[in-house]
Structure 1
Amino acid sequence: MKVAEKITEQASIYEDLETMSTNEILSNINKEDQKVAKAVQNVIPQIEQFVEKAIPGFLKGGRLFYIGAGTSGRLGILDASEIPPTYGMAADRVIGLIAGGDKAIRKAVEFAEDSLNQAAEDLEPYQLNENDTLLGIASSGTTPYVLGGIAYAKEKKVITGGLTNNPGSPLALAADIPIEVVVGPEFVTGSTRMKSGTSQKLVLNMISTALMIRIGRVKGNKMINMQLSNKKLINRGIRQLMEELEISEKEATSLLEQYGSVKEALENRS
């Protein structure tokens, strides 16, 4: 059995931060950030496994859940919230839950992450089933809220992943697919919103983007299912139609107005 290493709590390799100039602070933070992409690269096989496991159930109407506390929970909610406008998916297909509920998105809720039972209560209304997939996110890998959610999901025959920055953590051991991104000690000791949070954001981007591409929500390299909710996106849709169909801006605009989406316009014009 792997022994948990609390790397996220180890002392920074930098001393006397308060004596550094602004340039030194920024340069050293940047130096640490450059380690993150390599750490994520090291776990691509595990990320791939999680995405591949999620695809069949998602195609049958299953959902992808992210659960976490604090920064980890907020990052999950951020990624989930981007899926409907970017890929035209219903808001109930990729769902982010945070310990302490919606009010914890903006303001820390004391002790919310310490309950082993709260995640189950938060998940219960969704009636999890075997087509769903759940990713628990916790830098420490010890957050009770996340561990409780993993346990509940497994009871429901849901595939689980554990995204953590400590190897051999309870989360990594509990999840079906552990994704252990070892970024090393933080620039400010224990400040896991920094490298750890950055690594989580990268992994979540990879998971949701790969999933959306694999289920057909992208054509070529274009977001053909995006919601046309503002002028920027409407103009992007017009450009996509112009490029794909080799037509004028006027004709592309007319098609988009007629069909309401790039995908529908492409399918009906082809």
Structure 2
Amino acid sequence: MSLLMELLVAQDIGYHIDGRWLLREVSLSLSAGEVVALVGPNGAGKSTLLSLLAGDLTPCNGIIQLCGKPLHQMSALAQAQRRAVLRQQVALTLPFTVLEVALMGRAPYLHRRAECEEDRIIAQEALARTETALFADRPLPTLSGGEQARVHMARVLAQTTPILLLDEPTAALDLRHQHRVLRLTRQLADQGGAALIVLHDVNLAALYADRVGVMHQGCLRAIGKPWDVLRADLLSDVYGVSIIVQPHPQVAAPLVLSLPEGTERSGYTYVVEVR
């Protein structure tokens, strides 16, 4: 039994719309000190699950608890003070400056007081951590897609909550900043917080997550330590492509490799048929 405090718990939750189940009987927990990654093909239910955990959607059945309290009994403000959410798509076209966007992360605390210098310091530190401080005075729409994604990550960090819920935070980022964003989530967990991250890159999940959940057709097929879950048979079935898993040459993590169609496996030799 884990001695870690469970910050977020979902028990047998499901969600359907227009007579179609998008999620069925999913149970998972997120404990202090850990990073959990959700992987799986398009349409597997990853973003739906994150939206339920974030309180954006209401489950049709099951229970979600946030920091020990039923989520449906908590106000939006109380939720925002405990978890920060980075959604897959953030539509913000008005010419707010980068610093103003980062300061939006302080909104859950402004009901108690007017914006103060401490808020600006926290927002500026969050921009520095995502390497966007140099853009502080620029309007957000003038930045590239990847730079905007990092600014929104700074907004989430500025919220200073113990829990991060991140939906594909690396999708628009280059290789260096993919690792930087995931290191930031790892640091939060190491300091006693926790993060649940939806990722398409299975290898990034293997490198940074304490546990990985594999989703398929609205179900959580498996969840556990990377070496226990990222198995070639399971991943090949879920993704519908031939996959091999081998030890990473540099770190103690599995390395997942997908094979092109027409690839034949023979021992440790892989031959691609050219037609």
- TM-score scaled to structure 1, two decimals? 0.29
Q: Which has the larger radius of gyration?
A: 1
Q: Which has the higher strand share?
A: 2
- TM-score scaled to structure 2, two decimals? 0.28
Q: Which has the higher helix share?
A: 1
